[in-house]
Amino acid sequence: MEIATNTVVGITFELKVSKDEEAIESVPFSVEVRDQEDPFYFLFGNSGLPEKFEAEIAGKKVGETFSFVLLVTEAYGEAQEDLIMSMPKNQFSNENGFEPEMLEEGNFLPLMDENGYPMQAKVLKDLGEEVLLDFNHPLVGFDLHFEGEIFEVREASPEEIEHGHIHGAHGVDHDND
């Protein structure tokens, strides 16, 4: 089966990132590896991944490999200043499920948007009563170098298509909601 819209895709890969800095030769460095013990699964056509990523693997079958680079403009773009904001520290209390060490600079806070979808923010600075957070995607400003293999391709179920995500062992388990 070929990768196409409404197929569930499992891939193994190594992701390296680089920045095109003037006067500095940027060597890609590894930031994520997903192997056969922990493949990455998604619903093709509704993955939330950059469009160019899906275009690069469309039509591939199990066992085929891929190797490509997404430039910043094809990936997550440049950082947006309006996504960097300070918020009162008291919003991140123990009652709300946060531990004090979670607010240390460089940590990523697990959050939810107004629709209940998971998101994250990077802690940039402790400002005393407030904390400066960056809501940009962690990979903004980077060229993304992907190298991997197609691990699994199957037809998505009608429920997966309707819900817009995969179910079961590699996706959402609605029985535990």
Residue 123 has pLDDT above 60, yes or no: yes
Nearest-angstrom CA–CA distance, 29 and 161: 35
Are 18 and 142 in contact by the 8 Å Cβ rule? The answer is: yes
2: in domain: no
Domain that holds residue 126: 81-134
CATH of the domain at 97: 2.40.10.330
Residues 66 and 25 in one domain: yes
127: in domain: yes
Average confidence score pLDDT of the chain: 90
Model confidence, pTM: 0.81
| Secondary structure of residue 173 in the 3-state scheme | coil
Q: How many helices (H) and strands (E) does the chain have?
A: 2, 9
Residues 27 and 60 in one domain: yes
Q: Predicted confidence band at 26 (pLDDT cuts at 50, 70, 90)? A: low
Tell me which amino acid residue 83 is. L
* Tens-digit pLDDT profile for residues 2-12: 999 999 999 99
User: Which has the higher per-residue pLDDT, 34 or 167?
Assistant: 34
CATH of the domain at 57: 3.10.50.40
Residues 61 and 90 in one domain: no
- Average pLDDT of span 122-129: 94
Residues 119 and 93 in one domain: yes
Residues 73 and 146 in one domain: yes
161: in domain: yes
Are 16 and 22 in contact by the 8 Å Cβ rule? The answer is: no
Residues 62 and 145 in one domain: yes
Residues 125 and 101 in one domain: yes
| Secondary structure of residue 96 in the 3-state scheme | helix
Residues 21 and 102 in one domain: no
